[in-house]
Amino acid sequence: MLAVLLIAGGVGVMSQSNAADSQSSSPNSPAPDTMQARVAACAACHGAQGQGTDNDYFPRLAGKPADYLFNQLQNFREGRRRYPPMNYLVTYLSDDYLHQIATYFSQMRPPYPTPAAATLPDSQMARGRDIVLKGDTSKNVPACIACHGNGLTGMQPAIPGLVGLHRDYISAQLGAWRSGTRHALAPDCMHAIATRLDDADIGAVAAWLSTQPAPQNPVPAPAGSMKTPLACGSEPQ
Ligand code: HEC
Ligand code: HEC
Domain boundaries, the chain: 2-106, 122-210
Dump pLDDT digits (tens) for 15-34: 333 333 434 445 566 667 78
Cβ of residue 69 lying under 6 Å from some atom of ligand 1? yes
Span from the CA of 4 to the centroid of ligand 1 (angstroms):
25
Is the Cβ atom of 62 under 6 angstroms away from ligand 1?
no
Distance (angstroms) between ligand 2 centre and the Cα of 16 equals 53
Which of 106, 109, 65, 96 lies closest to 236 in space, CA to CA?
65
Give the ligand at the shortest distance from the Cα of 234: 2
CA-nearest of 152, 164, 45 to 114 is: 164
Distance CA 23, CA 18 (A): 9
pTM for this structure?
0.90
Distance CA 137, CA 28 (A): 64
Q: Which residue from 197, 81, 183 is spatially nearest to 139, judged by alpha carbons?
A: 197
Does residue 144 have a known ligand-binding role? yes
| Backbone phi and psi for residue 57, each to the nearest 5 degrees, phi listed first | -105, 0
Give the separation between CA 202 and CA 169, rounded to whole angstroms. 11
Whole-angstrom distance, CA of residue 218 vs CA of residue 209: 15
- Ligand 1 site, residue 190, Cβ cutoff 6 A: no
H helical segments located in 53-135: 66-77, 84-90, 95-106, 122-134
Which atom of ligand 1 is the closest one to the Cα of 101?
35
**Ligand 1 lined by 81 (C-beta under 6 Å):** yes
CA distance 166 to 144: 17
Q: Does residue 172 have its Cβ closer than 6 Å to ligand 1? A: yes
Nearest CA to ligand 1 atom 15: 83
Do 2-106 and 122-210 come out as alike in CATH topology? yes
Q: 174 to each of 102, 149, 183, 203, how far by Cα in Å?
A: 22, 18, 11, 10
Beta bridge partners of 237: none
Residues 122-210: name the CATH superfamily: Cytochrome c-like domain (1.10.760.10)
The reply, when asked if residue 166 is annotated as ligand binding, is no
Report CA(59)–ligand 1 centroid distance (Å): 7
Q: Tell me, what DSSP letter sits at residue 187?
A: S
Which CATH number does the domain 2-106 belong to among 3.40.50.300, 3.30.2130.10, 2.60.40.10, 1.10.760.10?
A: 1.10.760.10
Q: How far, rounded to the nearest angstrom, does the alpha carbon of residue 69 sit from its chain's CA centroid?
A: 6
| Chain centroid, CA 184 distance in Å | 13
Q: How confident is the model at residue 86, as a pLDDT?
A: 96
- Reported as a single tens digit per residue, the pLDDT across 115-158 is 999 999 999 999 999 999 999 999 999 999 999 999 999 999 99
Taking 70 as the threshold, does the pLDDT of residue 160 lie above it?
Answer: yes
Q: What's the pLDDT tens digit per position in 33-58?
A: 788 888 999 999 999 999 999 899 99
Nearest Cα residue to 136 out of 227, 205, 191, 187: 205
